[in-house]
Amino acid sequence: MPRLLVRRPSPLLAEGELTHLDRVPVDADVALAQWRGYVDVFRSRGWDVVEIEPADAQPDGVFVEDAVVVFGDLAVLCRAGAESRRGEAPTVAAAVAASGLEVAEIVAPGTLDGGDVLKIGRTVYVGASSRTNAEGIAQLRALLSPRGWDVVDVPVTKVLHLKSGVTALPDGTVVGYAPLVDDPACFPVFAPVPEEHGTAVVVLDEATVLMSSDAPETAAAYRQRGLEVVTVDVSEFEKLEGCVTCLSVRVRD
């Protein structure tokens, strides 16, 4: 059974970090309701949901994808590029330690945010962004290369994280909103989407993706490709440069 690691949003969510967007009001109560709806999608499809201990003093703690990345039976604990987010790490580390996975860690001076990591087959694309530095990428490559993963670094300057700009469909096609992608040629197959919030998909299974409800044209395009598309409202998280991928860590059998 696939597992989902999540953490409920902090009441301080509106104070979260921003890099490329202007700050607008965020409703923490609406965000909590949206988060519950997001988690319910996975529960309804048989995922085992594991809630990480709340971190209410950490405004960005809900974005658990940034704290750990799972590669098969290896969990890599990240070191946040934003110093304000490093307080999220201990509770995530405790949850990962209890998971039975082998654990490795990115250490100083390396920084790595999980939102900069896109896995397609045995290739790992890592965004060289404002949050992930060359040393962090080098440490990740040293961990993964002996395990048969190919680590490819790609430039990210137009969005917060690599997966703010691109994700991948079940067949490996990379999708993104072209104006926010530094170099689409980095990917073997790239398909542009018509809406900014259509860039992020979570693969639920080989025929199904989860995405934001704020990109209906993109959802229609994915359905035309033969995919089942499940949409959720994540507007409060999108105001903070978040998306459907950021809110969970997916651990697949």
Task: Tell if the pTM clears 0.85, that is, is over it.
Answer: yes
Q: What are the extents of the domains in the chain?
A: 3-251
CATH architecture of 3-251: 5-stranded Propeller (3.75)
- What's residue 17's pLDDT? 87
**Pairing status of strand 228-232 against strand 208-212:** parallel
Name the residue among 31, 25, 82 with its Cα closest to residue 58. 82
Q: Which candidate in 78, 197, 243, 246 is catalytic?
A: 246
pLDDT of residue 253: 64
Separation between Cα atoms, residue 231 and residue 233, nearest integer Å: 7
Based on C-alpha coordinates, what's the Rg of the chain? 17
pLDDT below 70 — which residues of the chain? Answer: 253
Which residue in the list 78, 161, 197, 243 is annotated as catalytic? 161
In the residue annotation, 246 being an active-site residue is answered as yes
Active-site residue, 161 included: yes
pLDDT of the residue at 140: 98
pLDDT tens across 201-213, in order?
A: 999 999 999 999 9
Distance CA 106, CA 137 (A): 9
